[in-house]
Chain A
Amino acid sequence: MSSDYEYSDDDIDYSDEDDEMMDTQEDGSASSDDDMDMDAFNEDFKVPSKAMRKTYEIEYDTLTQTAVEKAMAADIEHISGIFGVDASVASLLLRYLSWNKERLIEKYMDNASAVSISAGISPPSRSSVSSSAAPIRSHSSSTGGRSSGGLRRPTRQTPGKSRSPTPASVYPDAPSAAPKPEPFVCPICFDDSQTSFLSLSCDHQFCAGCWGAYLTSKIREEGEHSIRCMAEGCAIVAPDPFVRSALADDIPTWERFQELVVRHFVASNPSLKYCPYPSCTHTVSCPVAAHKSALTTIVPIVSCGASGTHKFCFGCPIEADHRPVICSVAKMWLKKCRDDSETANWIKSNTKECSQCQSTIEKNGGCNHMTCKKCKHEFCWVCMGPWSEHGTAWYSCNRYDEKTGVDARDAQSKSRASLERYLHYYNRWANHEQSAKLSIELYSKTEKKMEEMQVTSDLTWIEVQFMKKAVDEVEKCRTTLKWTYAMAYYLEKGNEKELFEDNQRDLERAVEDLSELLESQIDTEIISTLRQKVTDKTVYVQKRNEIMLEDTAKGFLDGRWSWNVSVEGFD
């Protein structure tokens, strides 16, 4: 299926250069000639090579906030190096094209001034001056240490954009500089006591206070990462250094702004995802699952570096771990369960089908002499046989073996087959979920007992840890089992499914055995034998779980599974 999967750790950086030009960072770096840059970047994304990666485990890497910022900075640096523009300009260009370096390079090489204008870097009127997005830094010395970034003082300084500025603007302090109209009143607050004015490259001047309030409102209330000039219809975007200095000492808002930019970077990159756990700041990089098409062959369960419990699926938001089943099937199953389970259960326990027309009938009281509203068929609710055979007896359904009754029940069971089938899988699915919860509860009880034992007997702490390990394993396997039922429900009948169900059965049996062991009475005499048994069983269960996951994952890669319904991504 998708070739993305086959790349080994070592060649992943250069692998899909040919077929996937739109792909993420790796390709961009590969096609560039900026080797230094690239290596530093790839260092961050590289998956530490594990000696033995299981088929059901996928390659991913977890990045801290700082690492993501570094990756982002590397992209900016890269672009800034290629185009010879300032970092803040490169950042605006990248944000404008959603951090897609290839498209940016292509478009920029094609028509730099047009890109600069649409990205809000240079004003349209100056469009004739091409490749001009950079030169803000060329003025940095004249702005008195307020380095790169297009921060302008009201001294009528040049918009840094043009490389051919008028003499006056090149030397803003020269006597020929246009004098500031006196007194200048900020057109927003009309406060004539203001002395400090700022403008972007478009020269629309406003007082520093208004800029601060405006940026704060845009950042805090609208979560904007590209903020335009305040003038009506002006498309110039404020570069980061400008935002920074205009926010003055409002550090929290500046930090929020940086966070918004990083969030935009992560959201724009298909191979990056934020850890969804509350207030977790880690990011996971998983290039193999970046394409939707890959999700038909892999189940990208990842966990962020912050904690092993921060486990989530890179491909979908439905559940933390739905291995071995792929996202689209898991989603389909959950939807079905939400829609159908209760209804199906109710139908099963409260209704029967008319043995003639198969309408579903609810018996709402009265005697067992049923008359189908639809086809007028008269039958006995108890034996399902035709009422005529009951004679005139008010109720004497002792006719269980009568052929007609059996036939009627057969017909009914056939019509219920699909419902029964669904309930079969659903009940097992739900049961494993429930049991997993219960075993955790059980463990908290056992734990106390273990602690007591540690005190009363000569067992060490490490020796009583086997229970914890076993319970963890049981929970993990029950999650696997749970989802195997979702998968089996949709699997097409055949040899493959039988093999799948054999694995499922073996795992289930092992898990139930272990569960039972965990519930046995614990006392000091048998503890050593119990420990031995539990440890052995845990290892076995672990093995079975691995076989289950491994085989299913291989099956996806080999395209071995076929479905009895149409599944997204399969033909």
Chain B
Amino acid sequence: MDARLRRVNKEITDCKNDKSSNIKIDLIDESPFHLKGSFPGPQDTPYEGGHFEVDIVIPESYPFQPVKMKFITKVYHPNVSSASGAICLDILKDAWSPVLTLKSTLISLQSLLCSPEPNDPQDAEVAKHFTTSKRSFEETARYWTQIYAGGPGGIAKSGKSPEAVRDDVAIAGLEKAHVDQFEAIGFERGKVIDVLRRLNYRGANVANISEDRVVEELLK
């Protein structure tokens, strides 16, 4: 049997048999080389209560080259792209060792959620949000967990929510008052959210950005 297949099969079985870790690995289709991993958000973090799914692609030269992983579930985290789910983690790149397994890598992802590394960001905007105001960042991350990862108080399953308007502002990690303020001048709401997010119009940073600067960006 192909060594790669044997190893992957064993890894999947091991994971199934291990009830303690809460890590799950499932097949997406027939191929054992394209998998879906999932794990619960770690406790005492904004991701607590969420259920995070990861797309796993096993390369040809696995386990001698690292496995390819990205988040399927949208995650608000400095080291995860908020758009694509791409992950910035050393063991997925040059620090990979053939001894690492799918399970241990997923556990590493889980612990990455516990300890964001904003100095080596995958998503610069999220990282800026994190460094500007950790409290506000956590609020947003918690909100994303609610709506995308089925976290507590979640509205993900309630379909179209009447609060859709409020959602956008919270998803962007902004203050409703700020958005309303610029919307009142006559700019389109979507654009205001976009610009304020890009400028990192949050927390203490608000004092550093003049209204003129915001309007200037809005007019671009």
Which residues in A have some Cβ–Cβ distance to B below 8 Å? Answer: 187-191, 206, 209-210, 213-214, 216-218, 221, 230-234
B3 touches A191 (CB 8 A): yes
Which residues in B have some Cβ–Cβ distance to A below 8 Å? Answer: 3, 6-7, 10, 61, 63-65, 91, 95, 97-100
Partner of A217, one of B7, B61, B100: B61
Partner of A189, one of B6, B61, B100: B6
CA–CA, A291 and B120, complex, Å:
36
A190 touches B10 (CB 8 A): yes
Given A217-B65, A221-B65, also A190-B7 (CB < 8 A)? yes
Closest to A217 in B: B64
Instruction: Enumerate chain B residues within 8 angstroms of A218, measured Cβ to Cβ.
Output: 64
Closest 5 CB pairs of A and B: A232-B97, A217-B64, A190-B10, A230-B98, A214-B64
Instruction: Enumerate chain A residues within 8 angstroms of B99, measured Cβ to Cβ.
Output: 187-188, 230-232
A188 touches B10 (CB 8 A): no
CA–CA, A218 and B10, complex, Å:
24
Interface SS of chain B: loop
Instruction: Enumerate chain B residues within 8 angstroms of A230, measured Cβ to Cβ.
Output: 97-99
Closest to B61 in A: A217
Instruction: Enumerate chain A residues within 8 angstroms of B6, measured Cβ to Cβ.
Output: 189-191
Can you list 20 contacts pairing A with B, beta carbon distance less than 8 Å?
Answer: A188-B7, A188-B63, A188-B98, A189-B6, A189-B7, A190-B6, A191-B6, A210-B64, A213-B64, A214-B64, A217-B61, A217-B64, A217-B65, A218-B64, A231-B97, A232-B91, A232-B97, A232-B99, A233-B97, A234-B97
Closest to A212 in B: B64
Instruction: Enumerate chain B residues within 8 angstroms of A216, measured Cβ to Cβ.
Output: 64
CA–CA, A210 and B61, complex, Å:
11
Instruction: Enumerate chain A residues within 8 angstroms of B10, measured Cβ to Cβ.
Output: 190
CA–CA, A190 and B63, complex, Å:
12
Instruction: Enumerate chain A residues within 8 angstroms of B91, measured Cβ to Cβ.
Output: 232
CA–CA, A230 and B63, complex, Å:
10
B100 touches A221 (CB 8 A): no
B3 touches A213 (CB 8 A): yes
CA–CA, A187 and B104, complex, Å:
13
Instruction: Enumerate chain B residues within 8 angstroms of A191, measured Cβ to Cβ.
Output: 3, 6
CA–CA, A357 and B99, complex, Å:
74
Q: How far is the CB of A513 from chain B (nearest CB, A)?
A: 63
CA–CA, A230 and B100, complex, Å:
9
Closest to A189 in B: B3
Closest to B96 in A: A232
CA–CA, A190 and B13, complex, Å:
12
CA–CA, A518 and B6, complex, Å:
74
Q: How far is the CB of B182 from chain A (nearest CB, A)?
A: 40
Q: How far is the CB of A248 from chain B (nearest CB, A)?
A: 15
CA–CA, A214 and B65, complex, Å:
8
Partner of A214, one of B95, B98, B100: B98
CA–CA, A187 and B97, complex, Å:
11
Instruction: Enumerate chain A residues within 8 angstroms of B100, measured Cβ to Cβ.
Output: 232
CA–CA, A68 and B137, complex, Å:
57
Q: How far is the CB of A253 from chain B (nearest CB, A)?
A: 13
Partner of A209, one of B3, B65, B95, B97: B3
